[in-house]
Amino acid sequence: MKKQRKLRLRRIAERARNRREERESVILSGVFHAAPAGYGFFTPENTQDDAEDIFIPAKFTGNALDGDTVEVKLLPPRKNHPEDLEKGPVAKIMEVKKRARESFIAQLLQGSFVSPVNNRLPEVFPIHGSRKGAVRGDWVKIACTPGKNGELDGTIVEVIGKAGEITGDLDAIMAEFDLPGKYSAAEEAEAINTIPAEIPRTDCRKLFVLTIDPFDAKDFDDALSITPNDDGTWEVGIHIADVAAYIRPKDYFDKAAARRSFSCYLPGRTLPMLPAGLTAKISMQQGQDSLAHSVFLTVDRDGKVLSGKRLHTTVKVAKRLDYDEVQRFLDHNEINPQWDEKIPETLRILAQVVGKMREFREKTEAFIELPLPEVRVICDEKQNIVTGIEKRFSRQSEQLVEECMLAANQFVGRELPQKSVSGIYRVHPEPEPEKIMEFTDLMQEAFHLAPGDISNRTNCRNFIDSLPDDETRPLILGMLLRSLPRASYSTRGDLHFALGKTFYAHFTSPIRRYTDLTVHQQLWNCDLNQRTRPASSLESVAAYASEMEENIDAACFTANDRLKIRIVEELMAKDPGKKFHCLITRILNYGILVELPEYAITAAISGGDLKMPLSAMRIGETLEVRGTILNFQNKR
C-alpha cells in the first residue's frame, strides 16, 4: 500500500511538473497596458473580446511602455504559494516587438533624468544629449531612443514650456495626449458662413421652451418644454440642436469633428469639437429662432412614457436658465426678478412630472447611481489663473434635465432598429466575476461589509443604500466604481448595466459628441428617404470614439490633479506646518496611500513618516498629517 501510494504521488508530481514546464514554454504576443503603480496587464492578440488579461508584475515589465506590442512568457504558480492557483495567469515580458509611441512629454529634473506627465510611463526616465536650452522644471518633448544594453532612454527634441504655470502645464498635457488645438481664424470664418440644409419642419415657436445649463456653459444644445394633454397626460418636449442640418457626412467640418470626437473641457481651456462661431450659430440661444430635432414624449401621472414622436422643428427659447437659480427656486421658491411669470409654473410642472418619470424608472429599471461629488478646478481662461475648487453633487436641477435626456436617448435608441437604421449605442457590460470577487473580499476585510452579488442591480442598489453616511461612503463608492467596467460605444444595442437599458443611444449632445452627431445624420437621411450608413461603416466610428473618450478623460484628470496639487502646495508654502485631513485608501509594503477628500487627490506617505506601524493601519481610517510628508504621485 505504501509503495502504491508513493507511486501515485510520484505520478501526480510528474504531471504537475509537466504542466509547469508546458506553461513556462508558452510565448504570447499582444499589447502591454501599464498601471500607474508600475505593474501592468497583457492583452493577447487574436483572442475573443471576453478573454482574460494577463497580469505583469512590476519587476517583469522590462523596458516596455504603455501600449507597446510585446512578447511574454507565462509563469507557473510559485512554490509554497497555494493562493497563486486561485489567481489569474501571470507573465513576464520577454521582448518589445513594437513601440506604441516615439515620444512623450516630461518635466526636466536635476541631472540626466525627466519625469513624464503621463503616470502610465516610468516615474523617472533617463535622457542624454543636448538640453535644447531647457532648464530644470521645464516641460520638454522626449524622443524615445535605444540605450545601452537594450535599455531605453531619450533625447530632448523640443521645449514646451515652464512647469508650474497654467499655460505651460496645459500645453504639456495637450501635447502628451495629442489633443487638437482650437480651430484657426480661417476655419472659424469659413464655418460661420455655413448655411443649413433644408428638411420639412414643424413650427413649434409657440411652445414655452427653456434651456437649463451650467452658469458658464458655452454651448446650448438642449432645451425643454412641457404641455398638458386633454386626457390628463403631459407632453414633454426635448429639443436638441439640429446639428445635422449644418454638418453633413464627409464634409470638412464633419471630418474635423470626427477626428476630435468630443469637445474637451480642460480647466482653463476649452477645445470644442466644432468651431466656436458655428457652435454659437447652431446653439439654441434665448429669443432666437433655432433649428431643432425634437422628441415629444407622452407621460402619464405615474411617470410612465406611453408614446413618443420625433420631429425636425423650429423653436424659440423663452429664457436661458442656469442650474444654480433653478435649484434655489426648487429648494426655497426663490424667484429671479428677471423671470417671466410663466417660468415658475413651468418649472414646478416640469419638476413634478420628471420626478414621477424618475420614480417610475427606478422601480422598473433599478438603475445604479453612485452619488459621488464632482471636484474640479475652476480657472479664469482669460486671465489664466486658478480661482478655486468646486465640489458638487448632482442636484434636483441637474437630475431634471438628465432625466429628460435619458428618456430622449432611449426613445431614439429604440426607434433606430424599428426603422432598420444602423446607429451607435452606449453600452456598459456587467461587472466581471473576478472584479466582483476582489471588491467583495476588500469590503469584508477592510470594512466588514457584505455587498452580495453586485452584478445584480437590485443587490447593488441595496448595498449602496446600506452604506454608512460618513467619510468612508465616498471611498467605498469610488472602489465600487473602479470595479465596474468602463462604458463604451458600439453598433450593437447591448446592455447598459448601470442604467438597466438596452438599445440606448446618445442623441442629446450633437454639438460636443460625434457619436450623437452620427445618430442625427443617420436619422436625417432616413427622414429624407436617403441612404443611411450600414453598421459595418459605423464600427470604426464607435471604436475610435471609445478610444478618444478614454484619452480625453485621462487628459482632464491629469490637468485637474496637477492644478489641485498646486493649490495644496501653495497652501503649504504659506504655512509649512499646515495639516491636511486624509483618508487611508490602501496599505502597501513601503507605506500607505491616502486621499485628501477636500481636494479629491491621492498622495503616498512613507512608513517612516508614520507614528504607527503599518500593521496598525486600516483602510478607511482618517489621519491628520503635515503636508510636508505627502508625496503626490499623480502630480506627474
**Which of 58-62, 352-356, 398-402 bottoms out in mean pLDDT, i.e. has the lowest?**
58-62
Return the biggest CA–CA distance within the chain: 97
Phi-psi region of 516 (alpha: psi -120 to 50; beta: other; left: phi over 0): alpha
* 465 and 597 part of one domain: no
| Other C-beta atoms lying within 10 Å of the C-beta of residue 630 | 22
Is residue 633's pLDDT more than 80? no
Residue 408 lies in a domain: yes
CA distance 610 to 593: 12
β-pairing verdict for 202-203 and 305-322 = parallel
Domain that holds residue 209: 185-429+485-562
Residue 480 lies in a domain: no
More confident site: 209 or 75 = 209
CA distances from 586 to 342, 546, 625 (A): 53, 30, 16
Tens digits of residue pLDDT in 414-451:
999 999 999 999 999 999 998 899 899 999 999 999 99
State residue 516's pLDDT score.
Answer: 98
* 320 and 450 part of one domain: no
Domain boundary among 98, 123, 143: 98
Q: Which helix (H) or strand (E) holds 410?
A: helix 396-418
State residue 548's pLDDT score.
Answer: 97
State residue 421's pLDDT score.
Answer: 98
Which of 348, 313, 115 has the alpha carbon at shortest distance from 200? 313
- Average pLDDT value for residue range 571-591: 90
Straight-line distance from the first to the last Cα atom of the chain, in angstroms, rounded to the nearest whole number: 65
Indicate the number of domains in the chain: 5
Contact between residue 299 and residue 357 where contact means Cβ atoms under 8 Å apart: yes
Measured N-to-C along each axis, helices 252-260 and 535-574 cross at an angle, to the nearest 10 degrees, of 50
State residue 636's pLDDT score.
Answer: 46
Domain boundary among 475, 501, 530: 475
Tens digits of residue pLDDT in 516-566:
999 999 999 999 999 999 999 999 999 999 999 999 999 999 999 989 988
Residue 173 lies in a domain: no
The pLDDT confidence band at residue 413, using thresholds 50, 70 and 90, is: very high
466-490: string of b/e by CB count within 10 Å (b at 16+)?
ebeeeebebbbbebbeebbeebbbb
- Average pLDDT value for residue range 208-224: 93
Taken in order 246, 251, 255, 256, is the CA torsion positive or negative?
negative
Is residue 52's pLDDT more than 80? no
More confident site: 44 or 151 = 44
* 191 and 305 part of one domain: yes
State residue 51's pLDDT score.
Answer: 59
CA distance 301 to 299: 7
* 448 and 547 part of one domain: no
The pLDDT confidence band at residue 375, using thresholds 50, 70 and 90, is: confident
State residue 545's pLDDT score.
Answer: 97
* 492 and 541 part of one domain: yes
Q: Which residues neighbour 95 within 8 Å (Cβ) at sequence distance 6 or greater?
A: 70, 71
- Per DSSP, 512 falls in state T
**CATH number (domain holding residue 143):** 2.40.50
The pLDDT confidence band at residue 80, using thresholds 50, 70 and 90, is: low
CA distance 271 to 280: 14
Residue 493 lies in a domain: yes
**CATH number (domain holding residue 24):** 2.40.50.140
Percent of the chain past pLDDT 90, that is, above it, reads 68
| Other C-beta atoms lying within 10 Å of the C-beta of residue 260 | 20
Residue 346 lies in a domain: yes
State residue 148's pLDDT score.
Answer: 62
Domain boundary among 47, 64, 98: 98
Is residue 454's pLDDT more than 80? yes
CA distance 498 to 360: 16
State residue 145's pLDDT score.
Answer: 81
* 288 and 346 part of one domain: yes
| Other C-beta atoms lying within 10 Å of the C-beta of residue 589 | 6
* 32 and 88 part of one domain: yes
Is residue 467's pLDDT more than 80? yes
Residue 176 lies in a domain: no
Tens digits of residue pLDDT in 144-194:
887 666 567 899 999 999 887 888 999 999 999 999 999 999 999 999 999
β-pairing verdict for 305-322 and 289-299 = antiparallel
CA distance 359 to 320: 27
β-pairing verdict for 385-392 and 374-380 = antiparallel
* 132 and 215 part of one domain: no
* 327 and 415 part of one domain: yes
Please state, rounded to an integer, the average pLDDT across all residues of the chain: 90
Tens digits of residue pLDDT in 106-127:
999 988 899 999 888 888 889 9
β-pairing verdict for 385-392 and 69-75 = unpaired
* 91 and 230 part of one domain: no
Residue 142 lies in a domain: yes
Is residue 130's pLDDT more than 60? yes
Q: Which residues neighbour 610 within 8 Å (Cβ) at sequence distance 6 or greater?
A: 591, 592, 617
The amino acid present at 139, given as its one-letter code, is W
Residue 178 lies in a domain: no
* 526 and 589 part of one domain: no
* 546 and 595 part of one domain: no
